[in-house]
Amino acid sequence: MNINKFLSLAVALVAVTLVNGVASAPKYGMAGCGLGSILFTSNDKTQIVAATTNGSSYSQIFGITSGTSNCTADGIVKNDKAQEVFVTVNFSSLEQEMATGKGEKLNTFAHLLGCNSDSVAKFGQMTQSSYGKILTENATPTSLISAIKSEIKKDANLSKSCTI
């Protein structure tokens, strides 16, 4: 096991343990829920660090799925915000993985868009074949998400298997 993955897993486990012991979840800033919301306050200057922590440790995705790390199932953390934060933190990696049509972050992004496990490979193929439409010269995380959602709607299979 890679030492970075081991450390990320260890940090995530510690965070889950800490959060499970807290009776009421504290408020968090623009970076959303996850390990970053526990380690950093809602101070605007630390939100990029909080978002980076959430993205690099995958704690936000885990927290959204499990309802831990200040993430709740009552709609406080919106899926659109999770998508936006994920793409912002992983933009350059997603660019590379979309060009090849596969990769860990691309698969995670597919799941954030509501694609079921059977459609992840098809999602990767779509991002590869539509790369030029999705990533224009001045692409931003927001424009990338919008373009991908548009391409999903155009694809007969993905439009049925992804709940975007």
Residue pLDDT, tens place only, 29-58: 666 677 676 676 656 667 777 777 767 766
Domains in the chain: boundaries: 3-77, 91-161
User: Using an 8 Å Cβ cutoff, are 31 and 85 in contact?
Assistant: yes
Identify the pLDDT of residue 25. 43
H helix intervals, the chain: 3-20, 35-39, 47-57, 59-66, 79-89, 91-100, 104-112, 120-129, 131-134, 141-154, 156-161
pTM comes to 0.56
